[in-house]
């Protein structure tokens, strides 16, 4: 690499020149920042300004540039110089837009800007231009596990996009649950009549597609590797093993129905009580004619009981709503009405919820004479030749009875999500401790595994609530905690055929993106396209295993000597390993303990008599930093005593930064990250949680240093919290002012 | 219920909903109710009813024939139309309430002594006599419906208003004798008799 040559560019546009002493900033960049080249410009992001920087890169051989202008999140298209390392000093959103107006505040405003320029230059000296993971991969094909609606759709959509697909199905034919249906809920106007499922056509299209290889009667015996280089062993029913490879994986393993035998009070187990799947069997047998029971008797009256074993708050059954059951019961009631309008069909529901255009379908059933009774069934028993449903009518507030030839229980979807890796982890620890029982349980658990991953974190993707495969429903629905493996369909949340179709299409596209990024040595979601990757200095490693354990994505394996082995393609570049490492041997080219540490040390700390506290803010760049930028954009004023450093994730915060900051005389440290816990919003799943945990441990250290534990505080900031975040800062600064200056001041 | 009535409804057996759908004006709408309760919440008389429209509809679907037809509630509707305006399923609720009341009345099972029903009966009798409403006779008939002494009490209670109306020329005491009538009283009466005959035939009350 060519010799490092630094340059700083200071913009005076957007009012920066009016509010700040730009020549002074230039002097700081030159004298303190030791930049080889310092230029001022009154409109840096226009064509002329950008050309000036380009010319310097080309003619002056500048390799490192610091742009002191707006936030790093602004003008990214203008300031796009892929051939050099770059830092940004945020003088606009971070200083002039958030510091109070007026000459009274000129001094603190200028100090803030001075510090940001110092920080930008300090960071620059430690940063390198990321060159991308040298271990490029070449596989771009997908493996889709599961041949139901979701799996077939994912395979077909990916193949239509031009990617090869291996479709693995456990059964002897494609189709899954949907193939067992007589008809499906309508997707198109007028949403009035049940439709043909279309599964046979889809299966035929998939089977005959030149880019799709369908493996029936097959399960996944082992999955190893990483995005772009998954090595998979497929097991046929015969026991034969085939080895294949894939660039990314879509897991569309669907669901099983909740066992009605677990619902004896609702007649589960009685002869004339079936679930939705059971009724589909009868409807298929009837083939459009009168629907008959298994004993051959024509059904003249039928009662559907909604939410059977679902939305249960007693803890015995499924606590959630499966979403499709209302529309499914409506559809099945229409089966009866279409075959014979005289059949009495009653749907006993607590809340009828028909998402999408289902209201029209509901109305259609009412037109056909299906009766809907708001009530809660308490007991189903055999009566005469049929069943008697005892229920509480919730409108009339009275106990009521319905007699019917057949009772249909609307049971829920139970995800086929394989092994619970938390359970697996527990058993692994117990088995390692010598427990024979745990070892036995572990091998039993292994039987239900779907992907049989060789990852140290367990054989399947982690589960979130209620056993569904992890995903962030709102922001990144398909992402699991295993990079390059995407879940689609009812395995990640309950859904119907239409939703599963859309879901599978999205997951297929994400899988393609992951394989493509891996082939270019870049990160996948959420830092898609990031060329930096974790570099570990193994000679300094103490084999403490904290990085391997704490990596939220299972990207780090261990070799036989217990050194970490990075699977960079699995890595999401959050830096949690870097934050975890007690000996600080893990870094990224443009983000390391030094790039942030240097910024922390670059700031000028006023003495304890100045009444100017300094607070370090480590802000998550996914939510907290944008919220701070938005505060600037909305001209929400916050204290000029804070110095904000964006971090990739709070999980990447190394405690050395906190210690360094407090030792150099900062009065306090604010850590702003995403919401943690069950409803987490952390883009890297558990970064903010880990940070919270780590910080909970440093209270004693602080007390040992003679400092109040409140000098380090964590805050949860969502991306929309622009007003709230300014409040956090102002309140915290007020708290610190009351507490008095840090006793550590002046020791350096 | 008269024998004819019984015969007319016998074919519905236990299917009261079907009976309502076929025999009550606008009854075919009942099954479209989705039990949201907006009608019950919108009704200004809501707290004074035993059964809100929502409950009436549910009772019809649950086959509670006697409870619905003898319910006082359907007679309580003041035709403010709040429910019709607000019903998300566009049910003509006011009309259905009147339809049920009318049907119960025709079957002879509507609640006895229900003031709305009695008022309506008096009004109808008064109207068909001359083809015009004779307000004086109508008021007197209403006041004296519970006997002579109660009638005198009612009269004394209302005398201030009555004198005011007379003074304002809104009430003509001479109406007590004969009163005004339409041009062809016989024609009106024949017309109404024919209409009843047609309706009874259609409803199956007569053959």
Considering only CB atoms, A395 lies closest to which of B31, B55, B89, namely B55
- H or E element at residue A374: strand A371-383
Q: What whole-number distance in Å separates Cα of residue A164 and Cα of residue A138?
A: 13
Q: What is the pLDDT of residue A699?
A: 83
Give the pLDDT confidence of A518-527 residue by residue, as tens digits. Answer: 999 899 888 8
Answer positive or negative: Cα dihedral of B159, B162, B164, B167: negative
Neighbours of A328 (CB within 10 A): 23
What is the C-alpha separation between A385 and A614, in angstroms, rounded?
82
In this prediction, residue A582 carries a pLDDT of 93
A-chain residue closest to B59, CA distance:
A396
Q: How far is the alpha carbon of A142 from chain B, nearest alpha carbon, in Å?
A: 46
Quick one: angle between helices A325-339 and A276-286, nearest 10? 30
Burial class of residue A78, CB neighbours in 10 A (0-12, 13-18, 19+): middle
What distance in Å separates residue A257's CA from the closest CA in chain B?
28
Query: In the numeric block, which tokens belong to residue B67?
Result: 């409870």
Cβ pair B34:A352 closer than 8 A: yes
Chain A residue nearest residue B51, CA to CA: A396
Q: How far apart are the C-alpha atoms of A223 and A230, rounded to whole Å?
A: 7
How is residue A468 written in tokens? 């569904």
Q: Answer yes or no: do A363 and B89 touch at CB < 8 A.
A: yes
Chain B nearest CA to A334, separation (Å): 15
CB contact under 8 A, B35 and A369: no
Counted across chains A and B, CB pairs separated by less than 8 A come out at: 33
Query: Chain A residue closest to B61 (CA)?
Result: A371
**Phi, psi values for residue A126, rounded to 5°:** -100, -10
User: How far is CA B117 from each of CA A55, A678, B128, B195, rounded to the nearest angstrom?
Assistant: 96, 61, 17, 21
- Do B31 and A369 make contact, defined as CB atoms within 8 angstroms? yes
Contact by Cβ (8 Å): B107, B8: no
DSSP letter, residue B12: T
Cα distance between the two ends of chain B: 17
- C-beta atoms of A374 and B35 within 8 A: yes
CA dist B124 and A217 (Å) reads: 80
Closest residue in chain B to residue A369, using alpha carbons only: B31
Please name each of the domains of chain B with its CATH number.
Answer: 3-107 (1.10.1060.10), 115-203 (no CATH)
Establish if B35 touches chain A: CB-CB under 8 angstroms.
yes
Q: What is the DSSP letter of A476?
A: B
A393 to chain B: which residues are within 8 Å by CB? 58, 62
CA-only gyration radius of chain A, Å: 31
pLDDT digits (tens, 9 = 90+) for A178-226: 999 999 999 999 999 999 999 999 999 999 999 999 999 999 999 999 9
Report CA B194 to chain centroid distance, whole Å. Answer: 20
User: Would you call A88 helix, strand, or coil by DSSP?
Assistant: strand
d(CA A242, CA A235): 7
Given B32, B61, B64, which is nearest A373 (Cβ)?
B61
Helix (H, G, I), strand (E, B) or coil at B127: helix
Question: Do A593 and A123 touch, CB atoms closer than 8 A?
Answer: no
| A contacts of B35 (beta carbons < 8 Å) | 372, 374, 395
The residues near A623 (Cβ < 8 Å, ≥ 6 apart) are A673, A674, A681, A683, A717, A718, A719, A721
Q: Do the Cβ atoms of A366 and B34 come within 8 Å? A: yes
Q: How far is A372 from chain B (nearest CA, A)?
A: 8
Residue with tokens 């505080």: A713
Residue A375 contacts residue A357 (beta carbons within 8 Å): no
For residue A401, what is the nearest residue in chain B, using CA coordinates? B62
- Which of B17, B62, B89 lies nearest to residue A400, judging by beta carbons? B62
Contacts of A334 in chain B (CB under 8 A): none
CB proximity list for B118: less than 8 A, separation 6 or greater: B145
Q: Tell me chain B's radius of gyration from C-alpha atoms.
A: 20
d(CA A609, CA A18): 30
- Contact yes or no for A248/A485 (Cβ under 8 A): yes
Q: What confidence tens digit (pLDDT) does each residue in A431-460 have?
A: 988 889 999 999 899 899 999 999 888 899
Cα–Cα distance measured from residue B172 to residue B176, given in angstroms and rounded to the nearest whole number: 8
Angle at which helices A358-367 and A325-339 pack, to 10 degrees? 30
Rounded Cα distance, A138 and A223, in Å:
17
The reply to whether B94 touches chain A by the CB within 8 Å rule is: no
The pTM of the full predicted model, rounded to 2 decimals, is 0.86
Closest by Cβ to A396, choosing from B32, B59, B89: B59
d(CA A691, CA A644): 17
Asked whether the beta carbons of residue B55 and residue A396 sit closer than 8 angstroms, the reply is: yes
Range A279-308 burial, b when 16+ CB lie within 10 A, else e: bbebbeebeeeebebeeeeebebbbbbbbb
Q: Indicate the DSSP class of residue A643.
A: E
Using the Cβ of B59 and the Cβ atoms of chain A, whether some distance falls under 8 Å is answered with: yes
Name, in order, each residue with C-beta under 8 angstroms of A629's C-beta and a sequence gap of 6 or more: A71, A73, A74, A93, A94
DSSP type of residue B70: T
Separation of alpha carbons A679 and A492, rounded Å:
15
| B20 and chain A in contact, CB less than 8 A | no
Contacts of A349 in chain B (CB under 8 A): none
Do you find a cis peptide bond into B156, omega within 30 degrees of 0? no
Query: Are B32 and A363 within 8 A, CB to CB?
Result: yes
CB A97 within 8 A of CB A116: no
Q: What are the chain B neighbours of A368 within 8 Å (beta carbons)?
A: none
Interface test with B, best of A300, A363, A395 (most B CBs within 10 A): A395
Phi, psi of A212 (to 5 degrees): -110, 130
Measured in angstroms, the CA of A401 and the nearest CA of chain B are apart by 10
Helix A199-208 vs helix A149-160: angle between axes, to the nearest 10 degrees?
Answer: 40
Q: For residue B17, list chain A residues with Cβ-Cβ distance below 8 A.
A: 371
DSSP string over B95-123:
HHHHHHHHHHHHHT-SPTT-HHHHHHHHH
* Nearest residue in A to B60, CA atom: A371
Q: How many CB atoms lie within 10 A of CB A397?
A: 9
Look-up of token digits 């209270």: A699
Distance of CA A156 to the CA centre of its chain: 25
Q: Which residues of A touch B (CB under 8 A)?
A: 352, 362-363, 366-367, 369, 371-374, 393, 395-396, 400
* Disruptive mutation site among B22, B58, B66, B67 for chain A (greatest number of A CBs within 10 Å): B58
ipTM over cut 0.90: no
Interchain pair B32, A362: CB under 8 A: no
Among candidate residues A201, A151, A183, A149, the one with its CA nearest the CA of residue A328: A183
Low-confidence residues of chain A: pLDDT under 50: 1
**Which residue blocks in A161-317 are alpha helix, DSSP H?**
199-208, 276-286
Helix axes A497-519, A149-160, angle to 10 degrees: 50
Task: For residue A362, list chain B residues with Cβ-Cβ distance below 8 A.
Answer: 34
Q: Are A393 and B34 an interchain contact pair (Cβ–Cβ within 8 Å)? A: no
Closest CA to A571 of A615, A629, A607, A527: A527
Q: How many CB atoms lie within 10 A of CB A566?
A: 22
Q: What is the pLDDT of residue B13?
A: 65
Residues of B in contact with A372 (CB under 8 A): 34-35, 61
- Give the pairing type, strands A564-566 and A556-558: antiparallel
Cα separation, A471 vs A462, whole angstroms: 9
Query: What distance in Å separates the CA atoms of residue A387 and residue A297, rounded to the nearest whole number?
Result: 14
Per-residue pLDDT of chain B (207 residues; tens, 9 = 90+): 566 666 666 677 678 999 999 989 999 999 999 999 999 999 998 888 889 999 999 999 999 999 999 999 999 999 999 999 999 999 999 999 999 999 999 888 999 889 999 999 999 999 999 899 998 999 999 999 888 999 999 999 999 999 999 999 988 888 888 788 889 999 999 999 999 999 888 877 776
């Amino acid at each position: 690499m060519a010799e490092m040559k630094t340059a700083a560019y200071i913009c005076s546009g957007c009012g920066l020149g009016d509010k700040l002493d730009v020549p002074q900033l230039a002097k700081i960049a030159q004298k303190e920042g030791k930049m080889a080249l310092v230029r001022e410009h009154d409109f840096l992001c226009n064509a002329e300004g950008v050309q000036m920087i380009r010319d310097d890169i080309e003619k002056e051989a500048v390799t490192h540039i610091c742009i002191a202008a707006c936030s790093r999140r602004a003008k990214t298209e203008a300031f796009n110089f892929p051939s050099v390392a770059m830092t940004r000093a945020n003088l606009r959103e971070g200083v002039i837009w958030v510091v109070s107006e007026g000459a009274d505040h000129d001094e603190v405003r200028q100090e803030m800007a001075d510090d940001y320029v110092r920080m930008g230059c300090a960071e620059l000296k430690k940063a390198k231009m990321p060159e991308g993971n040298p271990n490029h991969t070449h596989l771009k094909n997908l493996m889709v596990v599961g041949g139901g609606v979701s799996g077939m759709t994912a395979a077909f959509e990916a193949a239509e996009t031009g990617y090869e697909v291996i479709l693995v199905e456990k059964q002897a034919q494609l189709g899954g649950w949907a193939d067992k249906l007589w008809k499906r809920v309508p997707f198109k106007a007028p949403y009035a009549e049940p439709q043909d499922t279309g599964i046979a056509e889809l299966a035929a299209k998939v089977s005959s597609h030149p880019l799709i290889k369908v493996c029936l009667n097959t399960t996944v015996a082992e999955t190893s590797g990483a995005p772009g280089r998954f090595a998979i062993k497929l097991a046929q029913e015969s026991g034969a093993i085939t080895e294949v490879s894939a660039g990314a994986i879509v897991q569309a393993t669907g669901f099983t129905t909740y066992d009605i035998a677990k619902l004896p009070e609702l007649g589960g187990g009685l002869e004339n009580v079936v679930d939705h799947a059971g009724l589909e069997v009868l409807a298929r047998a009837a083939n459009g004619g009168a629907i008959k029971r298994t004993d051959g008797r024509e059904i003249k009256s039928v009662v559907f009981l909604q939410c059977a074993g679902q939305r249960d708050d007693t803890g015995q059954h499924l606590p959630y709503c499966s979403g499709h059951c209302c529309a499914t019961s409506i559809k099945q009631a229409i089966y009866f009405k279409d075959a014979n309008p005289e059949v009495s069909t009653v749907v006993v529901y607590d809340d009828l919820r028909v998402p999408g255009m289902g209201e029209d379908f509901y109305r259609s059933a009412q037109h056909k004479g299906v009766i809907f009774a708001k009530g809660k069934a308490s007991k189903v028993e055999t009566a005469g030749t049929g069943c008697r449903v005892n229920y509480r009518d919730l409108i009339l507030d009275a106990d009521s009875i319905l007699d019917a030839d057949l009772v249909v229980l609307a049971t829920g979807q139970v995800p086929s999500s394989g092994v619970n890796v938390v359970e697996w982890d527990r058993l692994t620890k117990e088995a390692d401790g010598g427990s024979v029982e745990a070892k036995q349980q572990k091998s039993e658990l292994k039987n239900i595994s779907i992907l049989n991953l060789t990852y140290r974190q367990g054989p399947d993707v982690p589960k979130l609530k209620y056993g569904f495969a992890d995903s962030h429903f709102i922001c990144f629905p398909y992402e699991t905690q295993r990079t390059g493996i995407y879940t689609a369909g009812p395995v990640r949340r309950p859904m119907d055929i239409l939703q599963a179709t859309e879901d599978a299409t999205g997951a297929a596209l994400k899988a393609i993106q992951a394989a493509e990024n891996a082939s270019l040595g870049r990160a996948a979601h959420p830092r898609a396209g990031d060329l930096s990757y974790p570099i570990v200095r193994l000679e300094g490693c103490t084999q403490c295993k904290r990085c391997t354990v704490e990596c939220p994505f299972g990207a780090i394996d261990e070799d036989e000597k217990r050194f970490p082995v990075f699977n960079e393609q699995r890595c999401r570049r959050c830096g949690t390993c870097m934050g975890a490492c007690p000996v600080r041997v893990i870094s990224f080219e443009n983000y390391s303990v030094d790039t942030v540490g240097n910024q922390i040390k670059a700031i000028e700390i006023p003495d304890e008599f100045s009444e100017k506290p300094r607070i370090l803010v480590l802000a998550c760049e996914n939510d907290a930093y944008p919220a701070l930028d938005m505060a600037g954009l909305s001209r929400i004023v916050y204290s000029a005593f804070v110095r904000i450093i964006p971090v990739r994730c709070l999980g990447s915060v190394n405690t050395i930064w906190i210690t360094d900051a407090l030792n150099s005389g900062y009065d306090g440290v604010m850590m702003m990250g995403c919401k943690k816990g069950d409803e987490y919003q952390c883009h890297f799943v558990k970064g903010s949680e880990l940070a919270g945990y780590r910080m909970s441990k440093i209270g004693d250290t602080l007390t040992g240093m003679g400092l109040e534990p409140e000098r380090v505080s964590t805050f949860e900031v969502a991306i929309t919290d622009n007003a709230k975040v300014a409040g956090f800062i102002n309140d915290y600064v007020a708290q610190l002012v009351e507490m008095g200056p840090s006793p550590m001041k002046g020791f350096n | 219920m008269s024998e004819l009535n019984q015969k007319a409804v016998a074919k519905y057996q236990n299917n009261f909903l079907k009976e309502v759908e076929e025999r009550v004006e606008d009854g075919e709408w009942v099954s479209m109710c989705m039990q949201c309760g907006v009608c019950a919440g919108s009704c200004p008389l809501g707290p004074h009813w035993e059964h809100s429209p929502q409950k009436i509809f549910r009772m019809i679907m649950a086959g509670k024939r006697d409870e619905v037809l003898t319910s006082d509630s359907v007679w309580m509707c003041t035709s403010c139309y709040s429910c019709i305006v607000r019903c998300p399923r566009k049910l003509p609720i006011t009309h259905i309430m009147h339809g049920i009341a009318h049907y119960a009345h025709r079957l002879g099972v509507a609640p006895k002594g229900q003031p709305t029903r009695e008022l309506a009966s008096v009004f109808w009798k008064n109207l068909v006599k001359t083809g015009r409403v004779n307000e004086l006779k109508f008021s007197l008939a209403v006041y004296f419906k519970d006997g002579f002494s109660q009638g005198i009490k009612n009269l004394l209670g209302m005398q201030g208003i009555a004198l005011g109306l007379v003074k304002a020329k809104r009430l003509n005491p001479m109406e007590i004798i004969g009163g005004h009538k339409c041009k062809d009283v016989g024609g009106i009466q024949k017309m109404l008799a024919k209409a009843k005959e047609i309706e009874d035939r259609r409803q199956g009350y007569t053959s």
